[in-house]
Amino acid sequence: MEERPGRPSVNAELWGRGVEPIPDLGEAVLPGDEREAVDRVWENYRRYSAWGLSDLTHDDAPWKNHYHPDGTEEIPVGELSDFFKTEYERLTGEPAGSASASARVLTADQLKQELGW
């Protein structure tokens, strides 16, 4: 799918699918801690439709801070990082810098390459 102006590449990759399921891209091979994180996200969010997930994210400050009726601007990574750090700490009671909270930041292309998609 072509890149749309003002939209990050992950969003552009899946933009316009509506309620259509995301295609099966094959099994990803991940280290245990990363697999555990993906499994936890899946368990918590698999019940939501595409529109339900969209509604959830559109209630969060990063999206609201960058929404414009003529097109949402890209949300800075630092703002997303700060938001999710705060959310992680609120939900778990753990500091986000703890060993169980470590994470890497990847671009969509890096993620696809690592997952072999």
Strand residues in 6-117 grouped as ranges (E): none
Give the number of residues written for the chain. Answer: 117
pTM of the predicted protein model:
0.49
On the 0-12 / 13-18 / 19+ scale of CB atoms within 10 A, 60 is middle
Q: Average of pLDDT values for 108-113?
A: 64
- The pLDDT tens digits of the residues spanning 39-73 come to 888 888 889 888 888 888 888 899 889 988 887 78
> Which of the residue ranges 19-33, 63-77, 98-112 would you say has the lowest mean pLDDT?
98-112
